Chains A and B, each alone.
Chain A
C-alpha cells in the first residue's frame, strides 16, 4: 500500500470534522501519528470539559462553616488524669460488686393505694417455712416458685440459698454472704472462669480499655447467666451481609479435599 503524503489528514479534517483548516505541521503521512493527533485533540477537549464542569462547584463551601468549625474545639476526653493500673483494678472490683445491689424482691402482682407494685422479700415467706434440703428439682416447687426453670448440675436450692437467712446466699463453708457478692459464690466452683474474668478473658469488657481515660466496667456473672439455668441460651443470628464470599460451600467442592 502506498500512502500519499499530505493528503489523508487534510481530507479527514475538512471543516465539517474539525471546524477549521489544519495547520501544516499536523499534516503528517503516518496514520498512527494521525490517530495520536486525533486522540490528543480529544484529551484536550475532555480536560477542558472537565475543568469547565468542575469550576462551578469550586465555591460550594461556605466560609462561615469553616469559621464556626474553628471556634468549636474538640471536646476533652472523659477523664485523662493519670495512668494507674491499680485504680483501674479498683474500679473493676467496684464493678465486681455492682450487681445485684441487694437481695432480690419478689413481685406479687398487687399494687398499693398509690399504684405502686407491691414486692416482698424472700424472708417474708421463708421466715415461717421449714427449709427442705432435699428440694433440688424445679418440679418439686409446687407452691410459689412453680415454673422456675432450673438446670444447674446437681445442686439443690440450699447449696446456694442460705437456709437460715433467705435474704442471703450461702458459701460452701456455710458462711452467709449478701446477694451483691454473688460472684464469690460462683467462683467457688468456677475458678478458671473467675480467674479469666479478672483479666477480662471471660465476661467481656465495657467502658474504657485505657484507665487514663475512663473506668473499665465489667458485668456480673448473673448479668449474662441465669443462676438457675446458667448455660448460654441458643440465639438467633443477626442479618447476614450480602457478600459474594458468603455462599455456603458445596459439599462436592470442599467435601473430600482433606
Chain B
C-alpha cells in the first residue's frame, strides 16, 4: 500500500474531517467500553444486595467470637427485613470424640418421601423449587446403578419389583468436593460433616461437578419462603437461608445433631429405616449395624469412603 493511500481522508457527513480509521477506532473503543460495562454490570447489582460488612467478611475459620456475634446478628436482621421472620442463627461446634455415621435399611424404606419433605422444611429450602438435599430413587431390583433409578415417581409406593434408595450427601471421609474448591469455602469438620461457608462460596460449582453422588445443590435464586414456614432454629454452617448463587448440601442437620438430637429426615421416617449415631462409640447402634448387617456404600470403587451406609436385612 502506498503512503498516499494511507493518508487519504474520506469525508464523512457526520464526522466531518475525521479519517475513517480514526472513526473506526473510536467506534471500536466505544463498543469495547460498552461491552466491559455490560460484563461488570452484575457487580453493580451485587453491590446493591451486599452490605460492606458482608463484602469484607472473612472466612469462617478466621472469625472470632465477636465477629460471629456481629455476623449472626446481621443475618438475623436481614432475615427479619427480607422475610419478616424472627430467627436465631447459631454455630454449634463439633462434639469431641464424635464422628457421625448414618445407615439406611433399604428393606424397610418404601419410598414414601417423608424424609425429602422434612429436609425441605427443616433446611429452609426455596418453596418454589421444591428443593431438598435428599432424592429417593425408585430402583429396579438387582442394581445400584443410579442411571436406572427414577426419582420423579408419583404413584403409590412400594411397587412390585422395585426398591427405594434415598441419596443425600454421604459426608465422605475423603470428599472429592472439598479438594476441588478453589477458595476453600467447603471443608470437613472434626465430626466428619462437610460444610460450606455460604458467604465465602463464589458459586463456581466445581464441587457439584466433583461429587460422584450429585449430592450438592446450587442456589439459583434467593429462596422464597413464607415467614410462618421459616425454621427459626438456624445454624450458620447449616440451614440458615442461603444467598443466591452459592452451593449448598446436606449437613446431617448439624444444628440438631451437634446437640444430641436426630436429623430431621430420620425423625420424619415413618418406616423406621434410618439410623444415626457416633461411629467412634463402639456401643452405638450404628456400630452394631456395621458389625452385624451387610452394609454397603454407593460407588465404593471411587474411594470417597462415604459415612452413610445402606443395608438390606
Residues of A within 8 A of B (CB): 1-2, 8, 11-12, 17, 35, 38-39, 42, 46, 49-50, 53-55, 57-58, 60-62, 65-66, 69-70, 74, 77-78, 85, 192, 196, 199-210, 212-214, 219, 224, 232, 234-243, 245-249, 254
Contacts and interface: CB of A to CB of B under 8 A. Distances in A.
13 contacts: A17-B29, A35-B29, A42-B36, A69-B72, A78-B260, A208-B260, A237-B112, A239-B113, A239-B120, A241-B120, A248-B152, A248-B153, A249-B149
Given A210-B260, A241-B135, A65 B77 contact: yes
Given A239-B117, A240-B152, 5 more contacts: A55-B52, A85-B283, A202-B108, A210-B98, A239-B116
Contacts of A237: 111-113, 136, 153-157
A199 B37 contact: no
B182 interface: no
Contacts of A206: 262, 267
B62 interface: no
Given A11-B25, A61-B73, A66-B73, A49 B44 contact: yes
Q: In terms of DSSP, what is the predominant structure of the interface of chain B?
A: mixed
Interface stretch (B169-177, B196-204, B272-280, B298-306): B272-280
A46 B158 CA distance: 58
Interface stretch (B124-132, B222-230, B238-246): B124-132
Contacts, number: 206
A222 to B, nearest CB: 13
Contact of A219 (B77, B90, B108, B272): B272
Contact of B25 (A12, A42, A205, A249): A12
A57 B270 CA distance: 47
Contacts of B99: none
B52 A54 contact: yes
Contacts of B272: 202-205, 219, 224
B273 A69 contact: no
B275 A201 contact: yes
A66 B70 contact: yes
Given A200-B285, A249-B147, A241 B131 contact: yes
A60 B55 CA distance: 13
Nearest to A193: B313
Contact of B285 (A12, A199, A247): A199
A247 B151 CA distance: 7
Nearest to B136: A237
B90 A61 contact: no
Given A209-B276, A254-B147, A201 B53 contact: no
A1 B24 CA distance: 15
A246 B151 contact: yes
B33 interface: yes
Contacts of A46: 37, 40, 43
B313 A254 contact: no
B221 interface: no
Given A50-B47, A201-B285, A210-B278, A254 B261 contact: no
A33 B144 CA distance: 58
Contact of A213 (B259, B273, B288): B259
B188 to A, nearest CB: 20
A234 B153 CA distance: 14
A12 B6 contact: no
A53 B47 contact: yes
Contacts of B156: 234-237
Contacts of A85: 283
B262 A249 contact: no
Contact of B135 (A57, A219, A235, A245): A245
B238 to A, nearest CB: 15
Contact of A192 (B43, B154, B313): B313
A28 to B, nearest CB: 14
Chain B CB within 10 Å, residue with most, of A58, A210, A239: A210
A147 B25 CA distance: 91
A42 B33 contact: yes
Nearest to A202: B272
A61 B150 CA distance: 47
Given A240-B151, A242-B129, A60 B270 contact: no
B270 to A, nearest CB: 7
B214 interface: yes
A212 B260 contact: yes
